[in-house]
Amino acid sequence: MKIAIVCYPTFGGSGVVATELGLALAKRGHEIHFVTYSQPVRLDQLSGNVRFHEVHVPEYPLFHYQPYELALSSKLVNVVKQFKIELLHVHYAIPHAYAGYMAKKMLAEEGYKLPMVTTLHGTDITLVGNHPFYKPAVTFSINNSDVVTSVSKSLKEDTLKSFKIKKNIEVIPNFIDCSKYDEKEFTDCQREMMAEHEEKIITHISNFRKVKRIDDVIKVFYEIQKKVDAKLMMVGEGPEKAMAEDLVDELNITNKVMFLGQSHEIDKILCFSDLFLLPSEKESFGLSALEAMVNEVAIISTNTGGLPEVNIHGVSGYLSNVEDVQDMANNAIRILENEENLEKFKANAKKVAAKFDLENVLPFYEEIYEKALNAA
Ligand code: GMT
């Protein structure tokens, strides 16, 4: 199948899922065309059947806001015609589903059929998409997609609660390619460079937005380090980073917290991590937690959104209410205090992650592509 994938090219989960999905589909013989404003960060293997088409938005002084969706929909029309694309898969509703719908309509005028699959990822529904300024457009573009998928049961429920949806929403969970981790021997797992032998390594990875409750990451760690020798690795960049650095200084734990910035080598950091903290206010799935789990890292998270579908309470880690810093800290200490307990949680985390193996999830996407082709 010739498939165009529209996504955000950034480190965010939706872009990562879209890119990994495209690469996996390409390995199965499909021809994949990524259409977005820059090369997706995880897209490192352009080849004959993986192409990238950059959307350019020319600056024009009259426009206070440059019209990205106009440029994207025009680019889609051109790519679809040039490469005889059979199906469009857009990740994140805003503005991708909207631009995709316009492309579909423009192409229909010229006799082309372009079935569109829209995958909802989280904040496009629970946060930004819910804003009254966007809601009518988001509702319209979901209802006018040929097939709609969401990355968790929880996100499906949130979508049905918040929007007037006439379409069936199929749940296809996010995935991880477990084979990469079976094959990989982390000979370069440089734990000793990061912490002393007896210190536990705790990690947080995100885009440091408000929704991630970065202050709670620091506060939970502050409680943990009172009882267990530990270091905290803060991975990522975003608006809450400066606040986090200030809080670390204020709590006088500067020598125990490392801010590593944005990293292309997440697995190298996770390979020496013991525990992953994800105290988010909202989280439709928690791909970063799944990436930690496949690396045998135990999870301390909130019980919001889709997190209970990924982090199994008492098995791969523990779940707490949003804001309950003390409960998260107690749970973390419970895991870390006892070496045997820690090893059990780490091994369990990997076992739970295996349920989300690419091999199990990919066929669902191929199935819905067939469905979309028949529906259009
Ligand atoms: O987590 C973020 O803020 C990034 C965001 C995105 O859209 O890139 O992530 C969302 O999609 C991911 C992939 O499906 C999910 O794993 C994240 O849970 C979800 N984020 C939120 O719901 C806050």
Cβ pair 300, 317 in contact under 8 A: yes
With vertex at residue 235, the alpha carbon angle to CA 256 and CA 306, rounded to the nearest 5 degrees, is 115
206 C-alpha to center of ligand 1: Å? Answer: 9
**123 Cα to the center of ligand 1, angstroms:** 7
CB 224 within 8 A of CB 230: yes
Contact (Cβ atoms closer than 8 angstroms) between residue 223 and residue 325: yes
Q: 151 CB less than 6 Å from ligand 1?
A: yes
Q: What is the pLDDT of residue 375?
A: 81
Separation of alpha carbons 306 and 293, rounded Å: 15
17 lines ligand 1 (CB under 6 A): yes
Question: Cα(120) to centroid of ligand 1, in Å?
Answer: 10
- Alpha helix segments (H runs only) across 254-324: 266-270, 287-294, 307-310
**pLDDT reported for residue 187:** 55
Pairing of strands 2-6, 87-91: parallel
pLDDT of residue 183: 58
Q: For residue 208, what pLDDT is reported?
A: 97
Distance 124 CA to ligand 1 centre (A): 9
Domains and CATH numbers, the chain: 2-175+357-375 (3.40.50.2000), 179-356 (3.40.50.2000)
End-to-end CA distance of the chain: 15
14 alpha carbon – ligand 1 mean position (Å): 6
Q: Is 201 in the pocket of ligand 1 (CB under 6 A)?
A: no
pLDDT 10s per residue in the chain (376 long)?
999 999 999 988 999 999 999 999 999 999 999 999 999 988 877 777 999 999 999 999 999 999 999 999 999 999 999 999 999 999 999 999 999 999 999 999 999 999 999 999 998 888 888 889 999 999 999 999 999 999 999 999 999 999 999 999 999 999 999 998 875 555 567 788 888 889 999 999 999 999 999 999 999 999 999 999 999 999 999 999 999 999 999 999 999 999 999 988 899 999 999 999 999 999 999 999 999 999 999 999 999 999 999 999 999 999 999 999 999 999 999 999 999 999 999 999 999 999 999 999 999 999 999 999 988 7
The tokens of 370 are what?
A: 């067939």
Q: Is 282 in the pocket of ligand 1 (CB under 6 A)?
A: yes
- With 0-12 / 13-18 / 19 or more C-beta atoms within 10 angstroms meaning exposed / middle / buried, residue 49 is middle
Q: Give the residue whose CA is nearest to atom 9 of ligand 1.
A: 13
Going from the Cα of 339 to the center of ligand 1, the distance in angstroms, rounded, reads 32
Please tell me if the CB atom of residue 144 comes closer than 6 angstroms to any atom of ligand 1.
Answer: no
Buried b / exposed e over 318-346, threshold 16 CB at 10 Å, is bbbebebbebbbbbbbebbeeeeebeebb
Q: What is the pLDDT of residue 188?
A: 65
> In a mutational test of the pocket of ligand 1, which residue from 91, 128, 205, 284 has the highest number of ligand atoms less than 8 Å from its CB?
284
Q: How far is the CA of 13 from the centre of ligand 1 (A)?
A: 5
Tell me the C-alpha distance between 119 and 117, whole Å: 7
Give me the pLDDT at residue 191, please.
84
Closest atom, ligand 1, to C-alpha of 152: 14
Decide: 32 in ligand 1 pocket, CB within 6 A. no
